[in-house]
Protein backbone atom coordinates (compact mmCIF):
# COMPACT_ATOMS: atom_id res chain seq x y z
CA UNK A 1 0.00 0.00 0.00
CA UNK A 2 2.76 2.40 0.93
CA UNK A 3 4.56 1.84 -2.37
CA UNK A 4 1.36 2.57 -4.30
CA UNK A 5 1.04 5.72 -2.20
CA UNK A 6 4.46 6.89 -3.39
CA UNK A 7 6.63 5.93 -0.42
CA UNK A 8 10.04 4.96 -1.72
CA UNK A 9 12.14 3.90 1.27
CA UNK A 10 11.77 1.79 4.40
CA UNK A 11 11.47 4.76 6.75
CA UNK A 12 8.66 6.25 4.64
CA UNK A 13 6.86 2.90 4.54
CA UNK A 14 7.08 2.60 8.32
CA UNK A 15 5.76 6.15 8.80
CA UNK A 16 2.92 5.44 6.37
CA UNK A 17 1.90 2.40 8.44
CA UNK A 18 1.69 4.53 11.58
CA UNK A 19 -1.18 6.48 10.01
CA UNK A 20 -3.28 3.40 9.21
CA UNK A 21 -6.46 2.93 11.22
CA UNK A 22 -6.81 0.00 13.60
CA UNK A 23 -9.19 -1.62 11.10
CA UNK A 24 -6.63 -1.33 8.30
CA UNK A 25 -3.95 -2.74 10.58
CA UNK A 26 -6.22 -5.70 11.36
CA UNK A 27 -6.80 -6.33 7.63
CA UNK A 28 -3.02 -6.42 7.15
CA UNK A 29 -2.57 -8.80 10.09
CA UNK A 30 -0.51 -6.50 12.31
CA UNK A 31 0.07 -8.02 15.76
CA UNK A 32 -1.90 -6.93 18.80
CA UNK A 33 -0.26 -5.32 21.79
CA UNK A 34 -0.41 -7.76 24.72
CA UNK A 35 -3.59 -7.50 26.73
CA UNK A 36 -5.27 -5.00 24.38
CA UNK A 37 -7.00 -4.82 21.02
CA UNK A 38 -4.48 -2.19 19.85
CA UNK A 39 -2.52 -3.28 16.78
CA UNK A 40 1.01 -1.97 16.67
CA UNK A 41 3.02 -1.11 13.57
CA UNK A 42 6.16 -3.12 12.78
CA UNK A 43 9.32 -1.17 13.54
CA UNK A 44 11.76 0.14 10.95
CA UNK A 45 14.23 -2.63 11.81
CA UNK A 46 11.53 -5.33 11.51
CA UNK A 47 10.57 -4.09 8.04
CA UNK A 48 14.24 -3.80 7.03
CA UNK A 49 14.99 -7.34 8.23
CA UNK A 50 12.00 -8.67 6.29
CA UNK A 51 13.01 -6.92 3.08
CA UNK A 52 16.61 -8.13 3.36
CA UNK A 53 15.36 -11.74 3.41
CA UNK A 54 13.23 -11.43 0.28
CA UNK A 55 14.91 -12.72 -2.86
CA UNK A 56 14.16 -10.10 -5.55
CA UNK A 57 14.17 -12.67 -8.37
CA UNK A 58 11.71 -14.94 -6.59
CA UNK A 59 9.50 -11.95 -5.78
CA UNK A 60 9.56 -10.85 -9.44
CA UNK A 61 8.65 -14.37 -10.59
CA UNK A 62 5.81 -14.56 -8.08
CA UNK A 63 4.43 -11.16 -9.10
CA UNK A 64 4.70 -12.01 -12.80
CA UNK A 65 2.77 -15.27 -12.28
CA UNK A 66 0.10 -13.43 -10.31
CA UNK A 67 -0.23 -10.73 -12.98
CA UNK A 68 -0.53 -13.34 -15.72
CA UNK A 69 -3.24 -15.18 -13.79
CA UNK A 70 -5.19 -12.01 -13.07
pLDDT by residue (tens digit) across 19-55? 999 999 999 999 999 999 999 999 999 999 999 999 9
- Pick from 6, 4, 5, 17: nearest CA to 47: 17
Q: Using a CB cutoff of 8 Å and minimum separation of 24, what contacts does 23-28 make?
A: 28/1
State residue 3's pLDDT score: 87
Q: Is the pLDDT of residue 1 over 90?
A: no
Segments making up each domain of the chain, as ranges: 10-69
- Could you give the 3-state DSSP secondary structure of residue 67? helix
Closest residue by Cα to residue 2 from 56, 18, 38: 18
The mean per-residue pLDDT over the stretch 1-29 comes to 94
Spell out the alpha helix ranges (H) of the chain. Answer: 10-18, 22-27, 44-53, 56-69
Gap between the Cα atoms of 42 and 52, Å rounded? 15
Amino acid sequence: MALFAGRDNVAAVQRYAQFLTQTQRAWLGFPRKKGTSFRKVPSYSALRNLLIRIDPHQLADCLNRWLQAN
